């Protein structure tokens, strides 16, 4: 998989203190969000086919900005000791595309490393019409090189009905109510 942050631009250092860069045997391959001092939330499609051998080779960098420089900002690195994918994850439809990584030890919270703020579990808030910011180290254009510096792109959030009309036939299994749909011409986040 090649991750992409199409139409993005460089993020400022320390702007996104919960972003995690995931590495497999030293190679960055996906991102995630710090949700507490020891857990990372990521996409299940990033780790879908990993065995326990693969998990043993995973590491996480938090507080990083330029993933090819070890001196640019103070970052924290941890090994991954456990991986749990949502039991309902479907790699064809991407339904339930979430996984949780457990790090080998907790990280201290600093200006550079803090957990993401999540909505309450019982939240029924509608996000359509608002703007989502997608962050990561994905390519800025399709088949383009992977940037070293953290990227960000703002995307408008659509209603799922708008998404069904525009993209429903292209989505295996269709667009369902538990999905969040966001996008704009020449800007995207995809894998």
pLDDT digits (tens, 9 = 90+) for 74-112: 899 999 999 999 999 999 999 999 999 999 999 999 999
Measure the CA–CA gap between 97 and 179, rounded to whole angstroms: 10
132 exposure class (CB count in 10 Å sphere: 0-12, 13-18, 19+)? middle
What global pTM score does this model have? 0.88
The verdict on domain 120-182 having CATH code 3.40.50.970 is no
Residue 99 vs residues 14, 37, 44, 69, 112: alpha-carbon distances, Å: 24, 16, 5, 28, 23
Where do the structural domains in the chain lie, given as residue ranges? 19-103, 120-182
Q: Residue 72: in which H helix or E strand, if any?
A: none
Token readout for 87 is: 């039991």
Structure tokens at 40: 């990372």
State the CATH class of domain 19-103.
mainly beta
pLDDT in tens, 48-68: 999 989 999 999 999 999 999
Strand partners, 135: 152
- pLDDT over 90, % of the chain: 60
């Amino acid at each position: 998989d090649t991750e992409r942050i199409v139409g993005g631009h460089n993020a400022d250092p320390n702007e996104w203190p919960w972003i995690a860069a995931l590495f497999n045997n030293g190679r960055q391959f996906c991102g995630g969000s710090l949700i507490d001092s020891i857990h990372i939330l990521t996409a299940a499609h990033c780790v879908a086919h990993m065995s326990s051998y693969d998990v043993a080779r995973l590491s996480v960098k938090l507080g990083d900005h330029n993933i090819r420089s070890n001196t640019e900002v103070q970052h924290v690195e941890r090994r991954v000791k456990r991986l749990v994918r949502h039991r309902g994850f479907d790699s064809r439809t991407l339904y339930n595309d979430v996984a949780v990584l457990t790090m080998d030890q907790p990280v201290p919270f600093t200006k550079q490393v803090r957990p993401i703020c999540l909505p309450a579990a019982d939240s029924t808030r509608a996000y359509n019409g608002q703007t989502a910011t997608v962050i990561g180290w994905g390519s800025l254009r399709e088949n383009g090189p992977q940037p070293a510096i953290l990227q960000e792109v703002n995307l408008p959030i659509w209603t799922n009905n708008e998404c069904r009309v525009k993209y429903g036939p292209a989505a295996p299994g269709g667009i369902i109510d538990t999905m969040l749909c966001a996008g704009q011409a020449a800007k995207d986040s995809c894998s």
